[in-house]
Structure 1
Amino acid sequence: MVTIYDIAKKTGFSPTTVSKVFNGYSDVSQKTRRIIMDTAEELGYLPNAHARSLTTKRSWTIGILFIETSGVGLLHPYFGGVIEGFKKVATSKGYDLMFVSKDIGGKKSGYLEHCKIRGVDGVVIVLPDYTDPYFIELLESDIPCVLLDQESDSKSTVYSDNVAGSIEAIEYLYSLGHRDIAYINGGQTFAGEKRLQGYMQGMQKLGLPVLPQHIVQGSYDYTVESGRIAMEELLKLDTLPTAVFVAGDNFAIGAIGAIKAHGLSVPEDISAVGFDDIEMAKYVTPALTTVRQDTYVLGKRAADMLIYCIEGGSEIQQAVIPVELVIRDSCRPL
């Protein structure tokens, strides 16, 4: 059986330092922690989780609650990058990850009950839903929580700068000479509301009229099909916009399909800008100009904040992650 002494011998660090890494002490550098964790994995070392829990009064388990109503589930483009970033930080500090659901052992229960039964040390909540009473119950408990893509007065939060990204998209279209800029809005979510706010602010800042018929409400699920349906509404107008800003890349891909189906071309007839920079954005024709949100950084920042709370930090933090306009081929100057 591999012991901490074997790891100490191979890495050159003291057994005390190795023990500190597996017990989550904060006075070990990330570089040292990474070397020890990598060596432990290489040697096949399995720390005694029960003994570690008795020593530290923790389960060393973090719950992941992903409230996603579109039916896409773990294939949601926002999810993969966020969880990859979150996992990198959490596992480097000795935590296991566990998905949280409402149902345990075939019976109906709540998120809070699940967390208590499993003894999680904290929970990261992705795409929170304030209409869900089970979520509110968890939020009001004493279990450390960090919210991704939401605002809160009681818990730490991490989200992209949706407003600034939307304003930048409008300013870019304006710089190309566009004045009639339509908008396909996302669902009634935190990000959707902020992106609409950014569109309105960007248009007003540049002195452009915001026409009611130029704002089309897409569905909550941000699918390609719902983007196509929303664009169909804009294409019924007597005077077409010269550009459309779209609240999500899946929406934008659907919108481009609708434009082409009407015998028009992107960007020759209508320019298009998306939001998110999903993997597919650079492979569609034309390649999609979009606002990139860094989901990996969102996840890493959320993990740092949650572990801070688990280790006794009491300050409520708010992190707004910058976004970036990625210019490709779906826009043209007038």
Structure 2
Amino acid sequence: MTTIKEIALRANYSSSTVSRVLNHDTTLSVSPEARSKILSIAKELGYKTVQERKGTNTSKTIPGKVGVLICHSLEEELNDAYFIHIRQGVESECEKRGLDLAEVLRLSQLKAGKISDEIKNLIVVGRISEELLRALTDHLENVVYINHSTNDDVYDAVVIDFEHATRQAVEHLLELGYKDIGFIGGQEVEHFVDRTEDLEEGRKATFRKIMEEKGLFAEEKCLVGQFRISEGYRLMKEMIESSRVPEAVFASSDEMAVGALRALQENNYQVPDDVAIIGFNDIELASYASTPLTTVRVHTEEMGKTGVKLMIDRLEGRNIPMKVVLPTELIIRESCGSRKRDLQKKGIS
């Protein structure tokens, strides 16, 4: 069976773009020529749509369409691969199981309206409150939250343990001998019916807790902006210009870590000799950065796939809600300085 990746390779577009074209994502900005090319190649390779494959689907028929509600705007998603990969996981699992996936829904497009009655099963990506969800729809058969859990007594959820993941990163720096450790992160927002609320994001809260336990926390070296490369760059520039550069930095996304890395190198700081950096997520760019990033690997695509599996399992008879916590893994590369220090311990310069 032809896959989206095969079409993407032939068309010379990303798998994400091809998937969104084939799933008729109305929020995708793509030229008519590109759309036509993708559809033409898909037809040439014999790609079958979800509807065409439904006849061979081995899963129990799912009543109604499956919707994906994302709290982030398209711009925010494009600046943070974390959520792109979750959505790709949802799409690929729906495709594999022959499910009728409706278009991707953006919260910004729905606040003044409602979710279509055709959508009976909803996967929610991000911090969308239960009260807002109920205001948007009252006809859902099933709801699965991904990357957030709003009511464990009612909804299935797929999450990671941000506290454990952050400890993996920060304690690694501490074990390497770093004590002056800074933090660069993004602002977490929860969406309600008539407002949004800023929250202390889990990685920042855990970083603060660990460093306070050690008597090492420095508020002036803990900066928060938005989850994007430009913000990592800006916040690190702020540290440099105010002479608050720590000897190590934990960044709550790889994109922010790459931005910080650029700012340091522009100002003649060597990574990791002068400043060590650890990122979060392990996007593809992390291993190809000018100094390859040590980072916490999150299985984001698997989070999306697991959300679909939970949805099907619930509709096939499971009555109690489940929360699945996926593991994370610390990936050691050059940016934290561990390899250099290991060589020094062995007497190798």
Q: State if a TM-score over 0.5 links the two structures.
A: yes
Structure 1 residues 111 and 321, CA gap change in structure 2 (3 angstroms): farther
Correspondence 1:157 to 2:164: no
Q: Is the 8 A contact 1:128 1:135 kept in 2?
A: no
- Written as runs of structure 1 = structure 2, the 5 A alignment for 1:131-142 is 135-138=133-136, 142=140
Q: Judging changes above 3 Å, is the alpha-carbon distance between structure 1 residues 317 and 273 closer, same or farther for their aligned structure 2 residues?
A: same
Is 1:247 aligned to 2:246, yes or no?
no
**Number of the residue aligned with 2:297:** 292
2:237 matched to 1:226?
Answer: no
* Structure 2 Cα separation of the partners of residues 58 and 194 of structure 1: 36
> Which residue is 1:13 aligned to?
none
1-structure distance, mates of 2:200, 2:258: 17
Alignment partner, residue 25 of structure 1: none
Alignment partner, residue 83 of structure 2: 79
* 2:246/2:275 contact within 8 Å kept: yes
Selected match of 2:143 from 124, 142, 145: 145
SS in 1 for 2:188: coil
Q: Verify the 8 A CA contact 2:62 2:312 in the aligned structure 1.
A: no
Match of residue 223 from structure 2: 216
* Partner of residue 95, structure 2: 91
Which digits, 9 at most, give the CA deviation of each residue in 1:163-193, with x for residues without a partner? 1111111111111110000001211247971
Deviation string for 1:276-328 (max 9, x for gaps)? 11111111110011111001221121111111233343312111111111111
CA distance in 1, matches of 2:319, 2:76: 35
Cα shift at 1:133: 6.9
Could you tell which deviates more after superposition, 176-185 or 72-81? 72-81
Aligned in 2, Cα 1:56/1:188: closer, same or farther, shift over 3 Å? closer
Report the CA distance shift for 1:92/1:69 in structure 2 as closer, same or farther (over 3 A): closer
Gaps of 5+ in 1: 1-39
Distance 1:318 1:272 in 2: 32
Change (3 A) 1:107 1:188: closer
Aligned partners of 1:126 and 1:147 also within 8 Å: yes
Aligned pairs for 1:25-36 (under 5 A) are none
Corresponding residue for 1:19? none
Cα distance in 1, alignment partners of residues 238 and 181 from structure 2: 14
Give the number of equivalent residue pairs. Answer: 279
Change (3 A) 1:312 1:111: farther
Tell me which structure has the larger Cα radius of gyration.
1
Q: Hey, what's the Cα distance between the residues in 2 that align with 1:107 and 1:175? A: 47
Corresponding residue for residue 122 of structure 2: 123
How does the TM-score come out when normalised to structure 2? 0.70
Q: Does 2:321 align with 1:322?
A: no
Aligned partner of residue 217 in structure 1, secondary structure: strand
- Deviation of 1:48 after TM superposition, in Å, equals 7.6
C-alpha deviation, 1:136, in angstroms: 4.5
Contact residue 79 and residue 229 of structure 2 kept, 8 A: no
Q: Is the 8 A contact 1:248 1:274 kept in 2?
A: yes
Aligned to 1:23: none
Instruction: Indicate yes or no: 2:281 matched with 1:276.
Output: yes
Q: 1:179 & 1:328 partners in 2: Cα distance?
A: 20
Q: TM-score, normalised by structure 1?
A: 0.73
Identity of aligned residues (%): 26
CA separation of 1:48 and 1:186: change in aligned 2, threshold 3 A: closer
What whole-Å deviation, never above 9, does each CA across 1:140-180 have from its counterpart, x for those lacking one? 65431111111211321111221111111111111111000
Q: Name the structure 1 match of 2:187.
A: 187
Paired residue secondary structure (1:314):
coil
Paired amino acid for 1:81: H
Shift of 1:109: 5.3
| Distance change >3 Å, CA 122–CA 202, structure 1 → 2 | same
Contact 1:292 1:323 in 2 (8 A): yes
Tell me the distance in 2 between the aligned counterparts of 1:259 and 1:48. 53
Cα distance in 2 for residues equivalent to 1:107 and 1:185: 28
Deviates more, 1:303-312 or 1:250-259: 303-312
Q: CA 1:101 to 1:91, structure 2 compared with 1: closer, same or farther past 3 Å?
A: closer
